[in-house]
A = this chain, B = another copy of it.
Amino acid sequence: MAVTAPEANEETMAMRVVAALRDEIVTMALKPGDVISESDIAGRYGVSRQPVREAFIRLAQQGLLLIRPKRATVVKKISPDGVRQSRFIRESIEVEIIRRVAGQPGPDAAGVLDGLIADQEAASAANDSRRFHILDELFHRTLARLAGVEYAWQLIDDHKMQLDRVRYLTLGVSSSQRAIAEHKEIAAAVGRADPASAEAAMRAHLARAEVLLNQTISDFPDYFE
């Protein structure tokens, strides 16, 4: 259960190291294949080896690090098959979510989604790609909340970290217009209480990640297994 469970608070040193390292990894400051060591990171953050070691354990369980006992610890390379199956998991869950939402839409469901899309259009117009990315996540997360399974989104989020690394490599706006159009189509199907159309639109929306992945693999082969 809960992979990224309750480590949101950064009370302890170990938690802080986890947050810092995870950020470095998903932003590609630490690249797949990079070798790191407990002493190295400990010195870098001015703490003992102990909290760093615990951070390594957490990140290894999240699939970002690979601890090779008595040898070294490396930033895990991205597994194409793992990403593919993560996408399968995400599509399975999000399709079920959108069916629920479109099947029994709450009174304000369509309104909330339209509001988010408007924000995305604003972010896109301002060329604020970071905000756009956050709003994109929020759109999907909101769908999970509307379906009453927000916890399921946390699961997707954990698995999305791998693909986020890929996304960071291709930080071009990557046709945000198209994503917005697809979001509109999904929201419209929800407004019409049309589960079948909503499912089709969601599948088409998620299918784009496949193209992104394949292109990135050929662009950065060293970062993949």
**Which residues of A are interface residues toward B (Cβ below 8 A)?**
1-3, 5, 11-12, 53-54, 57-58, 60-64, 69, 81-82, 85-86, 88-89, 91-93, 95-97, 149, 151-152, 155, 158-159, 161-162
Contacts and interface: CB of A to CB of B under 8 A. Distances in A.
B151 A5 contact: no
Given A54-B54, A92-B93, A5 B61 contact: yes
Contact of A162 (B1, B57, B58, B69): B1
Instruction: Determine how many copies of this chain the complex contains.
Output: 2
Contacts of A1: 3, 62-64, 82, 86, 158-159, 161-162
Contacts of A92: 92-93, 95-97, 152
Contacts of A12: 69
A62 to B, nearest CB: 6
A12 B149 CA distance: 37
A5 B91 contact: no
Contacts of A54: 53-54, 57
Given A1-B64, A85-B149, A89-B93, 20 more contacts: A1-B62, A1-B63, A1-B82, A1-B86, A1-B161, A2-B63, A3-B3, A3-B61, A11-B69, A53-B54, A54-B57, A57-B58, A81-B151, A82-B151, A85-B151, A85-B152, A88-B93, A88-B152, A89-B152, A91-B96
Contacts of A155: 89, 155
